[in-house]
Structure formats: structure tokens, C-alpha cells
Amino acid sequence: MRWPDFLGIGAAKSGTSSLYHYLNQHPQIFMCPVHEPNFFALEGGRDAGQFRGPGDWETVERFCLRDRAQYLATFANAPREQVTGEISPLYLYSPHAPINIRATCPDIKLIALLRHPVERAISNYRQYRKAGIEPLGSFQQALEAEETRLRQGWGPWPFWHYQRVGFYGVQIRRYLDGFPREQLFVGLYEELSTNPTALLQKMFAFLGVEAAFVPDVRVRHNLSARPKSPALHALATRPNRFKDTVKHLLPTPLRQRLREALHQWNTREEVFPLELREKLMALYREDILFLQDLIQQDLSSWLKTAP
């Protein structure tokens, strides 16, 4: 029986999908083949009536691991000499996850990747609109509906809790209440975007693997801008004969570069009102200052309305 050596705990829409692929390139790291198993937040599960948001229960059933034996089986084939890990952004937001992790793996290493909370919330909304899941056509409407949705049982996915997920200070505090500071690495999405290799090499050193390794960071994963052409987006993202044909004709690295180029060409940036950003910043300001002291990192750029 082998538990993971490290966990990526979030935050959602802060570069964790890209981080998974970058860490997976390291020859001394074995990443869980199930992306975002969410085990420590969902072990044992809850009944379907408590996953009431559109697609919530289907996501739990199809993609998450709630059974301990199934979760451990994902690490069974990892070579002994490799460091093992997985990334589940729900862990940072879940109040249950740090308790469950500490009870099972008290010496585990934890990686948190955080993004400006206003930009994170906007990206969160864009992703669900892009996927056709979010029924409300404006970000303002979605924010106003958040508390009602929570009362109705939408979740536990962070993706419905647009505002609440951004209070990182409270969430990081929960982990520091249960784990020594030296077991927690906190990185910023902004550095992953501007200087990914430097950030990743600091993570490698934290994990105790070869820090000089240079991963291929040319492809970014799970971006959330709205498509110009929904039909073209569907062709590129949903199962179809064209994709099956291309899969057999082109090598994986080339397919990834083509997919990224298509995404960039077919996306448009929505403009969100300055007043709405200012309202959210007023909501987050105190928590940002608390987080800054907690992790001893300069977050002054986050105190601006638009980074």
C-alpha cells in the first residue's frame, strides 16, 4: 500500500492543469493517472441529492475516486525510486480535505498554486460558460446567485463558488493549523505564467527531485476564454471522427501544439466592468493582506483592481 508523497491542493483555475503536465514530465516524478481524483475531499462520498448543480453528480461518478482501494491502486505501479503525487484543486477549498490528509499522510508535502482572486473568479465563470454548463449569461448574475446555489446544494465543486474560492488566507490557514510550514510550498500563478521554469525548479527542489530538470512549458492547459465559434470549439473538444482520424495520423506533441494554436485563434476575451472588479477587490482585500503575512510573500500587485 503506497500513499502519495505530495499533493497539489489548488486553487482551482490557477494553473493546476498545466502544473500536472509539467510535473509529469520529470523522470523522478510519478503523477496519478487520474487527473483530479479529489479523494481526500470526497472519500466515502455523499448521495446524489447533495450534488445538485448541473453536471455535479455526473462528474463525481465519472472522474472522482471515493474508494480507498481504487485510489491506492493508481499508485501501485509507480517505481519505488519515483516520488508520487496527484493534483486536486478541491483540496484547498474543502474544509474536510486537510483533516483527512493529516489523518492518513501527516508527513506529506503540499503544493498550493494561487492566482489573483478576482481573475480566478472571472476565469472560473468563463470556463463554465465555455463548457455550456453555466446557465446565467452574465458574471454579475452568477455572483448574485452564488449564495442561493450554495443553499440549494450546488457543489461541492469550487466552480460554482465563484467568490468563496478566492479567500485563500482562510484556506491556507486550515492547512498550517495541521501541517508544519516547511511541508507547504506556495507558488503564484503569475510566476507560472511569466517564468514557469524558475517556479517549477523551485518545486522540484521542494519535492527532493533533480531541480535542474527543464520541462517543456510551451503548452498551457485548460484555458478558459470564450470561443468565437462554438461549432469549431465543439469539433476540437468533443469526440468525433475527425479527431479520431487526426489522433492516428499525428504524434501527440504536434497535436497538442495544433490544439493550442486553434484555441488561441478561436477565443475572445470578454470585458468585465471595472465597477464589478472593484466590488470584488473590496471583498478580498482583507484576506489578501492576511494571506500575505501568512505566507510571507509580496502580494501588493493583487491589491490592484486589475493585475
Average pLDDT, the chain: 88
- 218 or 206, which is more confident: 206
Q: Are residues 147 and 115 in the same domain?
A: yes
Is the full-model pTM beyond 0.85?
Answer: no
Is pLDDT above 90 for 123? yes
Helices 274-295 + 168-178 axis angle, to 10: 20
What are the b/e assignments for 149-179, b being 16+ CB within 10 Å?
beeeebbbbbbbbbbbbbbbbebbebbeeeb
Q: Are residues 143 and 248 in the same domain?
A: no
- The pLDDT tens digits of the residues spanning 11-44 come to 999 999 999 999 999 999 999 999 999 999 998 7
Q: Are residues 146 and 259 in the same domain?
A: no
Is pLDDT above 60 for 48? no
What are the b/e assignments for 63-85, b being 16+ CB within 10 Å?
ebbbeeeebeebbeebeeebbbb
Beta-bridged to residue 109, according to DSSP, are 6
Residue 45 domain-assigned?
yes
Q: Are residues 147 and 67 in the same domain?
A: yes
Number of domains in the chain: 2
Residue 124 domain-assigned?
yes
- What is the C-alpha radius of gyration for the chain, rounded to an integer number of angstroms? 19
Residue 1 domain-assigned?
no
Which residue from 74, 279, 307, 85 is spatially nearest to 190, judged by alpha carbons?
307
Q: Are residues 206 and 84 in the same domain?
A: yes
Q: Are residues 117 and 58 in the same domain?
A: yes
- Four-point Cα dihedral 222, 223, 224, 226, nearest 10: -120
Residue 166 domain-assigned?
yes
Residue 40 domain-assigned?
yes
Q: What is the 3-state secondary structure (H, E, C) of 12-27?
A: CCCCHHHHHHHHHCCC
| Measured distance CA(131)–CA(15) in Å, rounded | 18
- The pLDDT tens digits of the residues spanning 226-264 come to 555 556 655 555 566 776 776 777 776 676 667 655 655
Residue 24 domain-assigned?
yes
Which residue from 37, 14, 13, 33 is spatially nearest to 199, judged by alpha carbons?
14
Q: Are residues 54 and 153 in the same domain?
A: yes
DSSP secondary structure, 57-68, as one string:
HHHHHHH---SH
Which cell is 42 given?
470526497
Q: Are residues 92 and 217 in the same domain?
A: yes
Residue 78 domain-assigned?
yes
DSSP for residue 269:
P
Q: Are residues 95 and 188 in the same domain?
A: yes
Beta-bridged to residue 6, according to DSSP, are 85, 109
Q: Strand locations in the chain, DSSP E?
A: 6-10, 29-31, 83-87, 109-114, 184-188, 226-227, 267-268
Q: What is the mean pLDDT of residues 56-66?
A: 86
- 159 or 24, which is more confident: 24
Q: Are residues 192 and 256 in the same domain?
A: no
Domain around 74 = 6-222+273-303
CATH of the domain at 186: 3.40.50.300
Q: Are residues 122 and 235 in the same domain?
A: no
Q: Are 207 and 109 in contact (CB under 8 A)?
A: yes
| Candidate from 81-90, 140-149, 216-225, 290-299 with smallest mean pLDDT | 216-225
Q: Are residues 242 and 293 in the same domain?
A: no
Sign of CA dihedral 183, 4, 1, 42: positive
